[in-house]
Structure 1
Amino acid sequence: MGDYLTTILAALVTFVIGCVIGVFYRKNIAEKKIGTAEELANQILDEANRTAENSKKEAILEAKDEIHKLRIEQEKESKERRSEIQRLEKRVIQKEESIDKKSEALDKKDEKLEKGLKKLADKEKEYEALFQKQAEELERIAELSKDEAKEIILNDVRKDTIHESAMIIKEVEAKTKEESEKKAREIISTAIQRYAADHVAESTVTVISLPNEEMKGRIIGREGRNIRAFETLTGIDLIIDDTPEAVVLSGFDPIRREVARLALEKLIVDGRIHPSRIEEMIKKAESEVEATIKEAGEDACDETGIFGIHPELVKLLGRLKYRTSYGQNVLKHTIEVSILSGMIAADLGADVKVAKRGGLLHDLGKAIDHEMEGPHVELGVMMAKKYKESKEVIHCIEAHHGDVETETIEALIVQAADAISAARPGARRESLENYIRRLQNLEEIANSFEGIEKSFAIQAGRELRIMVKPEDVSEDQMVLTARDIAKRIEEELEYPGNIKVNVIRETRAIDYAK
């Protein structure tokens, strides 16, 4: 055991000694290698320094060569610029010399002009003095001042101008009137001959015949309950008086009056008259009237050959069947205007479709003027816009009474056709009060002009006969006076057809032989 430990210790000592020896050996070798590496590094550094020095010298030499070249080029460019500047300076000097010469020439011309202007001023003063002297001499010879002579000349020129203008107006008006009247007569007479409609006159009352007098009592009912129910449901007054076997329906709404007429006729035929039966018959009558209105509108479109109108506008047209204006049935009037407009448009080469459509719809507003506030023209335009009618047709509607200025020939045609339809003899009836007022207005307009002695509206207001004072109105002024009065009538009055303005100037010389 002791030998074994000894052996181990000896082995350990030997191993430790070996390790120490190995470490020292490696250290010596490493030191030698490090020394060798340092020498090599020093050699490399020396070589790099030498190389860098050589490169530096070469770069310096190259830079000096480049600087030399740039210096030579810069000197060359500077010489070229100096020569260019010298050339430009020479040109500038030459131009300055030329400008100086021109300036001297202009100065000389200015001096000449000033002298010439001075001479002209002197001459002008001389001429003014001579003119003044001549004017004074003329005033002395004529025994008139300058203003007096001027006034005499102006009066003569004014008289000549009035005479010439009157003659020109006479000639132009006569020629234009002759040609336009001839053409207008041909177109209008042809249109009227080709279309002649019946005249329908209605009023605000409808008379219903009864089979016997007993029926009046049944219509009134116990304590008047039937008649009250009837008037409440229809909005129409039922007048029962002493007229034998007849009652009267009175109301301003023609459609309600038609509903009441149909309902009452049905009740009379049925014989059973009581409030519930009255209500039932009125509903049936309303349905029948609505169907009749629609049918009347469609018939009007078929008769005029106009299609594509909105169904609501067709219904409004049908309502015109029960509307009258001055006793003329409005639906028949619109149909007539549409057909006349189409005929006239065809003769004049205008758009026939627009003219006929505008003529058919021109009085559309009268279908609702019982229900809505406003003139029928505005109501018609509103409904046409609502249902997307064209601008041309809408313009025909709004211009047919002259509320706006006509912009298209079709609008003028509708306006003329409307006047033709309304002015035909028997087409409309006019109240005596309106008739007398129109005659008075005509005479008042004529009497408002200077030099008028008397005026008379004759031939139912279709001619205005005017007597002028011969000492105040000359023959030439007569033409202008007649024209001015006619213009004033056109601007201020509304009337069917034409009004003839007849100005008469009469001079009488009376003497007696003794």
Structure 2
Amino acid sequence: LSLAIQRYASEHVAESTVSVVDLPSDEMKGRIIGREGRNIRSFELATGIDLIIDDTPGAVIVSGFDPVRREVARQSLETLIHDGRIHPGRIEEVVAKTAKEMDVRIREMGEHACLDLGLQSVDKMMYYYVGRLHYRTSYGQNLLKHSMEVAGVAAVIAAELGLDTRLARRCGFFHDIGKAADHEMDGPHAVIGGRLCRKYGENDTVINAVAGHHQDVEAATPYTFIVSAADAVSASRPGARRESVQSYVERLENLEQIADGFDGVEKSFAIQAGREIRVLVNHTLVSDAEAAVLAEEVSRRIEGELEYPGQIKVMVIREIRATAIAH
């Protein structure tokens, strides 16, 4: 695993929830707003996205948590600005046209991603779901980039283990395909992804790796474990994912409070962005055997009380110091 991490290098950056559209002049802001705000209301209603027009010179901010809708809104606004005709009827026309073009672009993006990875015999409908991953995020991490990264890491791990790198790459690439499905499909994203892979002709190894990478179904091949490991590697890269400062601080504080609540604990430190906690115990109150038990008890308490991505390592440290003075 360490060799795979070192051998595979990729860009990793959290995605934003806003897009910025440049304006030719600040006079355009008034035209976008329209008489009594009718244009901006029509635009927001048609796109489901917020337009933020403030004192920022030469720019309008498109804000929304759905990346697909935000991209449709951004492109529509750029078209309207370039065209110059901005009124409710024209806005609805441009947004509808842009949405149709977006579907075509999503399929093309999915096809190009599959070709870049050398994946063959992929059903055309899978291209659509793959393309949608570009407009989905997990903790701010772009899911298409994440999937390509997992595919690369999985292939390297498979190579180190003497397994089929092409199959590992395919399993890793499709592992989060269930996150591209609409809300009509019920169940965890891994299980949904497994159903999609079965529906569109993927083999049993890929289906099991996709459905089982979060232990929703029992792993049947080594590739399922490889995908789980590669997924964790990609998600834990510094800067790959993002959470608000407040929730980040609260999560680390709660982690330390749980450990500090056990008898014999002197202090604890949450490190590695909350992915590891080191618990220092009093050696006169906690024996070596009790330290191992304490580690299990702390981990179980964390599992029962906290929600967190990935896993948290609990390390109990029992230190003995013997001091003598020579005269």
Same topology, TM > 0.5: yes
What is the Cα deviation at residue 261 of structure 1? 0.9
2-side partners of 1:439 and 1:402: how far apart?
A: 26
Partner of 2:296: 484
User: What corresponds to 1:506 in structure 2?
Assistant: 320
Structure 2 residue ranges without an equivalent (≥5): none
Partner of 1:49: none
Helix, strand or coil at the partner of 2:277:
strand
For structure 1, which segment, 357-366 or 403-412, has the greater mean C-alpha deviation from structure 2 after superposition? Answer: 403-412
Q: Select the structure with the greater relative contact order (CA < 8 A; seq sep ≥ 6).
A: 2
SS in structure 2 of the partner of residue 289 of structure 1: helix
Report deviation, 1:464. 2.5
2:241 to 401, 419, 428: 428
Match of 1:473 among 279, 283, 286: 286
Q: Is the 8 A contact 1:475 1:505 kept in 2?
A: no
Q: Tell me by how many angstroms 1:273 deviates.
A: 1.4
Note the alpha carbon deviations across 1:261-301, whole angstroms, 9 max, x for none: 11110110111112232233223312331222111101110
Q: Does 1:454 align with 2:271?
A: no
SS where residue 460 of structure 1 aligns?
helix
Give the CA deviation at 1:318: 0.3
- The equivalent residue for 2:145 is 332
Partner residue in 2 for 1:228: 41
- Letter of the 2:317 partner, please give it: V
Within a 5 Å distance, the mapping from 1:33-52 to structure 2 comes to none
- 8 A contact 2:214–2:228 mirrored in 1: yes
Cα distance in 1 for residues equivalent to 2:259 and 2:102: 50
Distance 1:229 1:494 in 2: 40
Residues matched between the structures, number: 324
Match for residue 5 of structure 2 among 188, 207, 232: 188
Alpha carbons 1:317, 1:367 under 8 Å: kept:
yes
Q: Determine the C-alpha separation between the residues in 2 that align with 1:339 and 1:187.
A: 9
Give SS of 2:113's match: helix
Post-superposition offset of 1:495: 4.6
Q: CA deviation at 1:385?
A: 3.4
> Per the alignment, do residues 487 and 297 of structure 1 end up closer, same or farther by CA in structure 2, a change over 3 Å counting?
same
Cα displacement (A) at 1:214: 1.7
Distance 1:448 1:368 in 2: 42
Superposed CA RMSD in Å reads 3.0
Q: Deviations over 1:375-415 (max 9, x none)?
A: 43343233333334333222212222334443321011001
Q: Which has the larger radius of gyration?
A: 1
Q: Which moved more, 1:204-213 or 1:437-446?
A: 437-446
C-alpha distance in 2 between matches for 1:475 and 1:204: 49
Q: C-alpha offsets along residues 232-282 of structure 1, whole Å, 9 cap, x if unaligned?
A: 222222222232222222222211111111111011011111223223322
Indicate the residue corresponding to 1:276 in structure 2. 89
Q: Secondary structure at the match of 2:193?
A: helix
1:257-296 aligned at under 5 Å gives the runs: 257-296=70-109
2:21 corresponds to 1:208:
yes
The CA deviation at 1:331 is 0.5
In structure 2, C-alpha distance between the alignment counterparts of 1:233 and 1:251, rounded to whole Å: 13
- Between Structure 1 and Structure 2, which shows a larger proportion of strand residues? 2
Q: Is the 8 A contact 1:202 1:328 kept in 2?
A: yes
Instruction: Measure the CA separation in 2 of the matches of 1:444 and 1:407.
Output: 39
- Distance of 1:206 and 1:372 partners within structure 2: 29
Q: Is the 8 A contact 2:191 2:212 kept in 1?
A: no
1:438 aligned partner, one-letter code: R
Please say which of residues 200-209 and 467-476 is displaced more in the overlay.
Answer: 467-476
Q: C-alpha separation between the residues in 2 aligned to 1:400 and 1:426?
A: 23
Q: Is the 8 A contact 1:369 1:376 kept in 2?
A: no
Equivalents in 1 of 2:197, 2:302: separation in Å? 29
Unaligned 5+ segments in structure 1 are 1-183
In the TM superposition, what are the counterparts of 1:99-498 in structure 2 within 5 Å?
A: 184-190=1-7, 192=8, 196-368=9-181, 374-447=187-260, 449-478=262-291, 480-481=292-293, 484=296, 488=300, 494-496=308-310
C-alpha displacement at 1:446, in angstroms? 3.2
How much has 1:332 moved relative to structure 2? 0.8
